[in-house]
Structure 1
């Protein structure tokens, strides 16, 4: 499988006339580490879950950075069996990126049908959705509609859903 990488991503953004804004920053690996970065960048910030269901299917679920996903209720919403986190090696093999850099834009590297992509409804409708452009030292802001358009261009059929959350205990 050919990984198109960041050059391919930038070429597709240009080819589709997608406007975006990019911010370079220190590497961030968790939502907690990214708090300072998020404060400086307008728009909706994201958290990405690379999951594998009990049937062996892979899922990439993108949600607002500040929510806690209810992994017990998630399968009934997205239509799968019980989920757990995928392994780093599987992530590298399927989408060509390391943990900490997960982004729906990494689907540029994925063969259609290998990973189901789920975008939280609030992000899909956002004027500005902030995601990594394949590495965690940059944040790129673009509209949720443009993210969906890119996913479809790459042969993926994103599911837009209201992701179940855990209330803070």
Structure 2
């Protein structure tokens, strides 16, 4: 059960501490956006694509959040935003910075980024949704929270974030 996963418990404890309400849904593992679509029925809110990226030198890390259906050209987007060529971070980097494995990437991984080394790039298009959904550091569950509460969580995390047009 994902709720017994210490990483999920850590996320739920922070949400409780911040008085953030959520709805919790368990489902089979969803490793990709395509997998997640199979289990999205009945889960209210914008379903997001969360990408853990690094710059060419490997000395900066990014969490890019957008609509799950939106196609992204990562290298072009990195250049447009002034960060140069971006590419996917390795599973080892992902574990080091966000404490999760591929398929479980979400802003909730920031609970593990105690040095605040990951810059969050939140797509402006997500602002129009009241509810937004993410895995709670385990891809066998999904949480729906208010967009305003996502911002509250990001503020709590201490990680820098920017709302940008991706």
Residue 45 in structure 1 maps to residue 14 in structure 2:
no
Residues 63 and 118 in structure 2, CA contact (< 8 A), matched pair in contact too:
yes
Corresponding residue for residue 135 of structure 2: 132
In structure 2, the partner of 1:166 is none
Equivalent in the alignment of 1:87: 90
1:5 and 1:109 in contact (8 A); partners too? no
Residues 113, 156 of structure 1: 8 Å contact kept: yes
Deviation at 1:79, TM superposition (A): 2.8
Q: Give the number of the structure whose residues are more often helix, by fraction.
A: 2
Write out per-residue CA displacement over residues 124-169 of structure 1, whole angstroms, 9 at most, x where no aligned residue: 4421101001100000000122112111111112111111xxxxxx
Which 4+ runs in 1 deviate beyond 4 A?
none
Q: Is the 8 A contact 1:118 1:161 kept in 2?
A: yes
* Structure 1 unmatched ranges of 5 or more: 164-169
User: What is the RMSD computed on CA atoms of the aligned residues?
Assistant: 1.6
- Deviation of 1:45 after TM superposition, in Å, equals 0.1
CA–CA distance in structure 2, aligned partners of residues 116 and 25 of structure 1: 29
Tell me the CA shift for residue 24 of structure 1. 0.4
Q: Does 1:147 align with 2:165?
A: no
The CA deviation at 1:113 is 3.4
Q: In the alignment, does 2:57 pair up with 1:63?
A: no
Q: What is the count of residue pairs matched by the alignment?
A: 160
- Hey, what's the Cα distance between the residues in 2 that align with 1:37 and 1:77? 34
Aligned partner of 1:167 in structure 2 is none
Partners of 2:90 and 2:50 lie apart in 1 by 14
Cα distance in 1 for residues equivalent to 2:115 and 2:103: 23
Structure 2 regions of 5+ residues with no counterpart? Answer: 1-5
Q: Contact 1:50–1:61 at 8 Å: present in 2 too?
A: yes
